[in-house]
Structure 1
């Protein structure tokens, strides 16, 4: 087994293509294919299913990818250690967040301190945030579930109640508050399965003996917002995420608040990477 073979396998696996892997490694496609074939032949194992110009990982390939993710992440950390000053002048930090506005102040401070570091932020719900971190597809996560199943370093940010909201011309727009039982009598617009907001709301309703049925299920906060703005039902969001939208009116939930806790999380094994550690240190300083 040679390093170049593992590297070829890894790039094919994460890019899903021999051609893309070749481009990333500045090699020819036949060279990449040959390295992967030699790795499979040497250990008599099939790492990719190849059919109709499509490739997918076999079970053995999935297991090997879990190892090579750690291997090449460790290599990257070693390079950062050997070039510490460069890492914070020209590195990249990947953040996946269920709501990026929770970290705007931290992002601002980080950019002011490390202007050379590129920050890439993308959206995700609780499940996809954790999955991205576990798969080494992101460095830091922002989510409303502070008890993930793996070993994470966690920095709690804030806790805000969930609020209902409707379009400004909705019959309930002038309502002072809505109970969970009252909500059950109206069309509801909910986030996709995996959304922490939806899960917390359903858990609170169940404790109160109320069953909530969502007339419309939409993927993403913005999709819910647009559907509600069109007058098609009642939506839900953390108060901190409601924002300013003249089309919408917030209606507090009556009774015990349904709280959404937000936190920064990172795989504990990756907290020593220079860019990750710098961001987490700033977050701790700003929250202390």
Structure 2
């Protein structure tokens, strides 16, 4: 039993598919099949149930996977720790996030401070994030909704109000506040199920026993304000984004609900090794968002945007 066999087994067990595991490992499929067969022969038990060309991890395989993941994770952590100690490179940080919009300044600042560190960003839903943390594909997840699980720890970065945005010609554009019930028939532009904007919207409407009317649904939250400004519907946007959109013709309103907020958290596996590069990123993220107002009221900021953005 060698490390290569264990890595092959882990890839097949996670995907329950020989061909996809081979693609991930960048090796030929027959090589993976032979390795799994040798491993099963050595252990004296079958690790997968086979039904034609389909395979499923059985109870022996599931028990073995738990041990294998623990062993390989420890070895990967040891490799990263030794690289840090030896100063072999400036390291790398991988971050999964639901949206890159609130991170642009942080990422730019980190790159300027640590130009030798490679930063990789992945766009993921919370469900995918949990799996990425479990498999140690990422060092951190930056989530806009609770992300919990065994061994996960979170640091709150930002707690802010989420505002309603409407086109400047909309009847609500002259309002300062609005209730959720008043929005029952309004078409919303939002993200797909699983993303924080959609989760928040569904939660607000559950509170009034209704479902929101969805006019446009997708996985690109950064396009919401453009679609709203074009008159295709209304949407929910974090208060933090308003300063970044001074010339977009929108009206911004408070929603009369204490739940209309977003909490941005930095999440990691607490049992994994924290590299020097990752520790620097964590500290910079905490310092960056500490400088921003937490859940600040926008009462004094809801004024017409430049270029005739309407009244709120």
* TM-score relative to the length of structure 1: 0.79
Q: Report what 1:44 is aligned to.
A: 45
- Which stretch shifts more, 185-194 or 197-206? 197-206
What is the deviation of 1:128?
Answer: 2.8
Is the 8 Å Cα contact of residues 98 and 142 (structure 1) preserved in structure 2? Answer: yes
- Give the 3 Å change call, closer, same or farther, for CA 50–168 of structure 1 in structure 2: farther
- Which stretch shifts more, 93-102 or 188-197? 188-197
Match of 2:282 among 242, 258, 280: 280
Say which SS state the counterpart of residue 265 (structure 1) adopts: strand
What is the deviation of 1:86?
Answer: 5.5
What is the deviation of 1:168?
Answer: 4.5
| 2:166 corresponds to 1:166 | yes
Any gaps of 5 or more consecutive residues in structure 1?
none
Say which SS state the counterpart of residue 265 (structure 2) adopts: strand
What is the deviation of 1:167?
Answer: 3.7
Say which SS state the counterpart of residue 112 (structure 1) adopts: helix
Q: Report what 2:210 is aligned to.
A: 211
Q: Pairwise mapping of residues 67-78 of structure 1 onto structure 2 (< 5 A)? A: 67-78=67-78
Say which SS state the counterpart of residue 38 (structure 2) adopts: helix
What is the deviation of 1:266?
Answer: 0.6
What is the deviation of 1:114?
Answer: 2.9
Determine the C-alpha separation between the residues in 1 that align with 2:135 and 2:184: 38
Determine the C-alpha separation between the residues in 1 that align with 2:96 and 2:79: 24
Determine the C-alpha separation between the residues in 1 that align with 2:52 and 2:276: 41
Aligned length: 282
**Cα-Cα RMSD:** 3.3
* TM-score relative to the length of structure 2: 0.74
CA deviation map 1:122-155 (0-9, x unaligned): 2223333333222322210111224623332222
Q: Report what 1:89 is aligned to.
A: 89
What is the deviation of 1:117?
Answer: 1.9
Determine the C-alpha separation between the residues in 2 that align with 1:218 and 1:87: 47
Is the 8 Å Cα contact of residues 167 and 249 (structure 1) preserved in structure 2? Answer: yes
| 2:28 corresponds to 1:20 | no
Match of 1:259 among 258, 261, 270: 261
Determine the C-alpha separation between the residues in 1 that align with 2:114 and 2:195: 32
